[in-house]
Amino acid sequence: DVKVTQSSRYLVKRTGEKVFLECVQDMDHENMFWYRQDPGLGLRLIYFSYDVKMKEKGDIPEGYSVSREKKERFSLILESASTNQTSMYLCASSIRRTSGRVTDTQYFGPGTRLTVL
């Protein structure tokens, strides 16, 4: 079974703090994703990575950065947390679709509920 784990289920931080959210997958997937989920807005893509050290902005990258130094690990960084970043953060991973592999099913972690006070 694919397993995607996130470092914390619940996290409370103060405004201005630097926050690291960690995600690890054990299936040797090339792609990894960070989303945030807010009531009424659904899941929105923050950043994704398609290879080690490679990243691409999603739909709402402002206020966030990411790091992917190893294939299995993808970190989301809030340089200076603000109250409007209080949210559920979800990590996902998938294989890279090629002509020989036509599925890119994403597997999600359990989520980290971040509260910024």
The binder of another protein chosen from 48, 68, 87, 93 (CB under 8 A) = 48
The verdict on 87 binding another protein (CB under 8 A) reads no
The verdict on 86 binding another protein (CB under 8 A) reads no
Are 76 and 23 in contact by the 8 Å Cβ rule? The answer is: yes
Helix (H) or strand (E) holding 50: strand 42-51
CA geometry: angle 75, 76, 78, nearest 5 deg: 140
Q: How many residues of this chain bind another protein (CB under 8 A)?
A: 29
Nearer to another protein, 85 or 109 (CB): 109
Q: Which residues pair with 49 in a beta bridge?
A: 32
- Long-range contacts, 58-67 (Cβ 8 Å, 24+): 58/33, 58/34, 60/36, 64/34, 66/34
Nearer to another protein, 58 or 63 (CB): 58
| Closest distance to another protein from the beta carbon of 116 (Å) | 19
50: its two tokens:
């398609």
The binder of another protein chosen from 33, 34, 64, 74 (CB under 8 A) = 33
Residue type, 116: V
36: its two tokens:
């945030």
The binder of another protein chosen from 11, 22, 50, 67 (CB under 8 A) = 50
Interface contacts to another protein, rule CB under 8 A: 4, 31, 33, 40-45, 48, 50, 54, 56, 58, 90, 92, 94, 96-97, 103-111, 113
